[in-house]
Structure formats: structure tokens, C-alpha cells
Structure 1
């Protein structure tokens, strides 16, 4: 494949800045078609992003001969269906995270990829972002010695978008596979496996304490890496703003690294020599570094760090913890 010509199924909010423009900015890549069920919104997106073709039917986009790769940016409940249809049509797929509703759906997607030989990638873009690659560089350098444990802490106040009768899909388990834990912890576990190797077991407790929506709003979990590193995590989405915190700590034999998955660009290293902070900003389009690697992979000139196989592992961990 000399040039990758993308079509997007589901051109919603995530595609406005995070991903959509990157398909046109990545070398040897272009965005040639978009699909959304609402014709007015599809046409508006195409006009604003200079996309030549728009559709209201997914099959029409998949079968468009100018489209040779498909990005699926719908909610998780339709990921498996669209991905399988695209792969059976011979079109490589890049699918948003979480990869699907559960590990079983992920395996079905990977099975079709194996049967057809059509590549499948997942939008765990932190595997390619400079900020997170810096965290990996620090760990690999041995600056904190041998990693002993991981601690994730995320306490956020309720988001107005997720409340009331018009609550978003992220807090509807039938659409998202869970709640905000599934949406956010997916990024965390995927990167931690990229950083420290496979997680071989995990368990947890989930509850809905505040009753603001149907999904669980608090999760606590434990997990163990094949290397012997142990991890704990707590996620609560109904605290007061004053209690807001989001940080992950890697505790090593000679120091610790503290970093953020979602809220700042600062990495703090604490050792016997003192404390040091490093700032690494995100790029304008956070998915662009990964998209560029996927394009390189599809052109036979490299490998993407995020695939259907790695994405499925994350869904398995979510299933272990949340059921």
C-alpha cells in the first residue's frame, strides 16, 4: 500500500482534534470519506475538514473503492460489527478504544483479522506519545532501580455531560461495556503493559455509590505483572472538586516516578539524589504519532506498537476487574 486513504465511521467529538486532522497531516496518508448517520452532521464535518465524500451508511463507506483503510470512531457497542465488516471487505481497521464491549468481542475481531490477513489496530495512542515514551525511557534506564509496584489513583467529580436523562454513552454499560472506569482505565492498563510487560492476573470490586447513572462509579483493583511487579488502583467519579486527583506512581528499588495519564504534562522523579521534574507537552493532534506508525506499518516499512492483539489484552484486564 503506497498511500493510505482513510474513511471514518462515526465522525464525532473525538475526531475533531484528537484524530481526524491527523489522517490528512501524516505522510503518505489522506482522509477521503466520512460517515455519520445524521446527514447534516456528516456533510458539515466533511465541509469543515475538506473531506471530499460523506455517507450516512457504513457499508457505503466500507465499499468505496477510494477508501483502503477504515477508522472506527463510534461508541464501543458497534466496534466489533463495523471492524469485522471492514476486514471482510479487505480494508485494514483502526478502531477506537476500548476495543470492544468485552474480551470475547475483541477475540472475535482478532479471529477475523487472522483469518483474512487484514491488519487491525487500536487507538491506544499513548504508546506513541513523547510524554509516555519519556516515562518508558526513564524506567528502562534504571533511574529508579527495579520497579516493585504501581499505584493508580483517580478521583474526579461528576461531569455534567454524564448526568441526567441525556447522560452520555460512557456511563451506559450496554453501549460502553462499563462506565468511566472502562473508558479511562483502558488507556492506563494498555500503557502499563507496554511499559512493564503483561499483566497475568487482576481482580477488583465495583459499586455504584452515588446513583447518578447506571454504571459503576467507583472501582478498586489489584493486579500482578508476569515480571512480579504488583499494582493497585482506585477510581472514583463522584468526589468533590477539592478532592480531585489523578496520578500514577511507579515505585522502584531506588526511587519513584510520578506521572499523569490525563491532566498534566509533568513527570516527577524522586531518588536519593533529590527530586527532578520533566515537562513533555502533548502534540496538537494526540493520535498523530500513532497514526503515522500505523501508516508506516500498512506501507510495509515499520510496525505499529498498538494492535488488535495488544488491545484485546486490555479488555481482558477490564473484564477481570469489573466483571
Structure 2
């Protein structure tokens, strides 16, 4: 596809306001030409504010638009499978938000549909292309901290403010697949896949300690990678504000790398026998733009995107393995 990539967005909500939406038109050879939201007034408002020529209130109309030749699905995970298959049947490349779907089985169905119709499938694990994580990948590949031993990550956050009847979709498993572990932990597990290669097995201890919503709020996981590296993670989403923490360490035979997954202003610290080096980075205005750039380049035959349906499905499989016992208990099995 050497012509201009003309995007349509399904679900123009908050994530598309700054993180992704404007990037589609700021990239050479790419343009946002249509948006869809079930609330037509909100779709029209988004289109007017962002200078998008067309808006729709149903997905089929956007998929059928001949001016749209690629689709970005920015709805919650519960509709990712449906819209991805619709886009594939329309013959249009798909860029879908993360997590890729509610579970690994849905991911496989999406991959099969796109493969059978020869439609490219990409997933919005955009951290793979942000400068701090690109640098960490480079340091690891160059063995700056020696042979890799293990990774440990901690993410502690206070509970979400609204509960009960005003339940945020991110902690409604029927819509999100799980709780904040699915929303945030998926980014982390995907990056570890990018840094070290596939996770071969994962086990988890999961609970709902605070009882504020149906989803899990604490997860402790152990990971084994196919190359012998091991990892651990602890996620807790019911700590007091002063205990909030976002920290990760990668340990090697000659040093360690410390960084944050979500506070992108936190420097990357590299410690070796030669001392400590603190690396700071400037983030792009639209954090998904570097990844979208690689998608446009691949669709135009100029490059390769590092975040595909296949790589994202691996992360979904790992999350399912970590959550297996919890989901069995929750379903009364």
C-alpha cells in the first residue's frame, strides 16, 4: 500500500484526544479522515475539534467508507474482536488498542480472521517505540549490564475514585477482561516480551482485597522466559496515596537498570562497575506517534512495526496464565 494511509477511528474517546488521534495526520503519508462513536453528537464534536472531515455513529458505515483504507479501534476491549473482524472483512488494515481483547482465545480469533483475509493487524503497545524504552532495549542488546539474570517490577496505586453504580469500565471484567492489572500490567508484560523475548510460563496469586469492585486488585506473578531469564511482579491497586510506587529493575551479571513503566519523566538509571549513569528523555507530544509511524511505514512497504497481533497475543496468553486460578474461582469452577 504505497498510497496515503487514510485512517478511520472506531471509538473516539479520551485515549484519542492527545495520545493517538492527532498523530495520524501529523505523520507524513497519513491522514485521519473519519471518526465513529455510538453517540453521534460526540463523534461530530470530535470531528469538528480535530478537523476530521467525516463522522459516523455506527461502525459499519465507517468500515464501508471508500476513503478509509485503515482502521484504528479505540473502544474498550470487549468490542475489539468484533470490530477487528469487521475491518478484516472490509479488507482494511487494523490498529487495535491494548489489551488486544478480553482473553487469549479472542486474540487468536482476531489473528486468524486477519491472516485468512491477508489484512495486517497491529496493537497499541506504543511503549516499544518510546525513547526511554528504545534505549533500555539497546542497553540490554549490547550487554551493558552483562548476562541478564532477572527482572522485578512493582506497581502500587490507590483505588479508583468511583465505585458502585459508577463503575469505571477498566475494573469491569465483562468490558476490560479484568481490572487495572489488565489495563496497566499488559503494557509491562508486553515490554518484557520486547526486551527479553517470549515469556514461556507464568503463574500468579490473585485476590480482591479491598472489595471495591468485581475485578482483582492485587496480583503477584512469577515469570520464566524462554532464554532462562526469570521475573517477578507485584501489582496492588488499593494502597494509600503515600505508598504509590512504579519501579522496575533489570539485574545482570555486571550491573542493573532501574526505570519506571508509567512515569515517563523518571530517568533511566544504569549502574555498573564504572558507576551510575542517569539518562533522561523527552517524550513526544502524542505518545503513540512513534509506533503509528512504524505502522504507516510498514503499510507503505518502507519498514516494520514492532507491535503486532502475534506479539500482543503472547501478552494476552501470559495474563490469562497469571489469572487462571482467580478466574476459575470467580466463575465458580
* TM-score bucket of the superposed structures, by smaller chain: over 0.9
SS of the residue aligned with 1:142?
coil
Residues 88 and 94, structure 2, Cα contact 8 Å, conserved in 1: yes
CA distance in 2, matches of 1:159, 1:12: 19
CA distance in 2, matches of 1:32, 1:242: 44
Cα deviation code 1:179-203 (max 9, x no counterpart): 0000011111111111111110001
Within a 5 Å distance, the mapping from 1:36-75 to structure 2 comes to 36-75=37-76
Cα deviation code 1:217-247 (max 9, x no counterpart): 0000000000100000000000011111101
CA distance in 1, matches of 2:253, 2:283: 29
Within a 5 Å distance, the mapping from 1:83-162 to structure 2 comes to 83-160=84-161, 162=162
Could you tell me the TM-score, scaled by structure 2's length?
0.95
C-alpha RMSD over aligned residues: 0.8
1:317 to partner: Cα distance: 0.5
- Where does residue 330 of structure 2 map in the other structure? none
1:300 to partner: Cα distance: 1.1
1:281 to partner: Cα distance: 2.3
Gaps of 5+ in 1: none
- Where does residue 219 of structure 1 map in the other structure? 219
SS of the residue aligned with 1:14?
helix
SS of the residue aligned with 2:166?
coil
1:272 to partner: Cα distance: 1.9
CA distance in 1, matches of 2:250, 2:24: 34
CA distance in 2, matches of 1:140, 1:41: 45
Aligned positions, number: 322
CA distance in 1, matches of 2:160, 2:212: 10
Residues 264 and 283, structure 2, Cα contact 8 Å, conserved in 1: no
1:271 to partner: Cα distance: 1.6
SS of the residue aligned with 2:246?
strand
1:127 to partner: Cα distance: 1.1
Cα deviation code 1:227-275 (max 9, x no counterpart): 1000000000000111111011100001100011101331011122222
SS of the residue aligned with 1:144?
coil
The answer to whether residue 198 in structure 2 is matched with residue 194 in structure 1 is: no
CA distance in 2, matches of 1:204, 1:244: 21
- Where does residue 23 of structure 2 map in the other structure? 22
Within a 5 Å distance, the mapping from 1:144-183 to structure 2 comes to 144-160=145-161, 162-183=162-183
CA distance in 1, matches of 2:165, 2:150: 41
The answer to whether residue 208 in structure 2 is matched with residue 208 in structure 1 is: yes
Cα deviation code 1:263-314 (max 9, x no counterpart): 1331011122222210012110000001010000011111111111111111
- Where does residue 277 of structure 1 map in the other structure? 278
Gaps of 5+ in 2: 325-333
Within a 5 Å distance, the mapping from 1:236-255 to structure 2 comes to 236-255=236-255
Residues 156 and 239, structure 2, Cα contact 8 Å, conserved in 1: yes
CA distance in 1, matches of 2:211, 2:7: 41
CA distance in 1, matches of 2:66, 2:168: 34
- Where does residue 322 of structure 2 map in the other structure? 321
CA distance in 2, matches of 1:238, 1:229: 30
CA distance in 2, matches of 1:200, 1:105: 20
1:164 to partner: Cα distance: 3.5
Residues 127 and 187, structure 2, Cα contact 8 Å, conserved in 1: yes
Residues 157 and 236, structure 2, Cα contact 8 Å, conserved in 1: yes
Could you tell me the TM-score, scaled by structure 1's length?
0.98
The answer to whether residue 275 in structure 2 is matched with residue 298 in structure 1 is: no
1:157 to partner: Cα distance: 0.9
CA distance in 1, matches of 2:150, 2:243: 24
